[in-house]
Amino acid sequence: MKIRTVTPADAAALAAIYAPVVQHTAISFETEPPDAAEMAARVVKTLPALPWLVAEDAVGRVVGYAYAGRHRERTAYQWSVDTTVYVREDRRGQGVGRALYGELLPLLADLGYCQAFAGIALPNAGSVGLHEAMGFMSLGVFRDVGFKHGAWRDVGWWQKTLRPLEEEPTVPRSFAERTPSRG
């Protein structure tokens, strides 16, 4: 398996991985799956500031992706990110998510981020297991926070400290400023 930085050319594969999650589960709170054009726009918007990685199988097919987004907009939150990982249905439970987070989390720490958060629609034993295996700790649950597929849904929140906290932290670097280049 190869982990590399996403490109807009990966958008169709990203959309194909994400669409069944949106359509058939409450894991995502989106109700309409984004098409390839929308996924490409999300990639283009995210990449200058934050990493978005894909996992490829031995023949170069995208089998999963992980990315980070801003945790909140206010300046004091700039050292925190939200993380997300999605794996193609036929590749779940085979280490793809772990491999993606194994690259993403250290990269975020290197960029200067201190805390990573993950919101997980519940129940989702696979995602909870992955996040806890990667060192995320449960924070609590937002009860009945979303309504999808005819039911109110809870979202649990997990947190992982990425690096030691500094008394006067420097502003995290953008993904575009990183060295060496990935992928």
Run of H or E residues at 126: helix 125-133
**CA-to-CA distance for 121 and 106, rounded, in angstroms?**
25
**CA-to-CA distance for 113 and 97, rounded, in angstroms?**
20
- Give the pTM: 0.94
Q: Look at strands 2-5 and 62-70 and give their pairing.
A: unpaired
Helix (H, G, I), strand (E, B) or coil at 1: coil
Query: Structural domain boundaries of the chain?
Result: 2-169
**CA-to-CA distance for 177 and 180, rounded, in angstroms?**
9
Q: Is 115 exposed, middle or buried (0-12, 13-18, 19+ CB in 10 A)?
A: middle
Q: What is the pLDDT of residue 25?
A: 96
Q: What is the pLDDT of residue 183?
A: 47
Cβ atoms 97, 66 nearer than 8 A? yes
Q: Look at strands 115-122 and 80-87 and give their pairing.
A: parallel
CATH homologous superfamily, domain 2-169: Gcn5-related N-acetyltransferase (GNAT) (3.40.630.30)
Residue spans of alpha helices (H) in 1-119 = 11-24, 36-46, 96-111
Cβ atoms 92, 82 nearer than 8 A? no
The amino acid at 132: E
Q: CA 30, 8, 59, 94: dihedral to nearest 10 degrees?
A: -30
**CA-to-CA distance for 159 and 163, rounded, in angstroms?**
12
**Which pLDDT tens digits describe the chain residue by residue (183 residues)?**
999 999 999 999 999 999 999 999 999 999 999 999 999 999 999 999 999 999 999 999 999 999 999 999 999 999 999 999 999 999 999 999 999 999 999 999 999 999 999 999 999 999 999 999 999 999 999 999 999 999 999 999 999 999 999 999 999 999 998 755 444
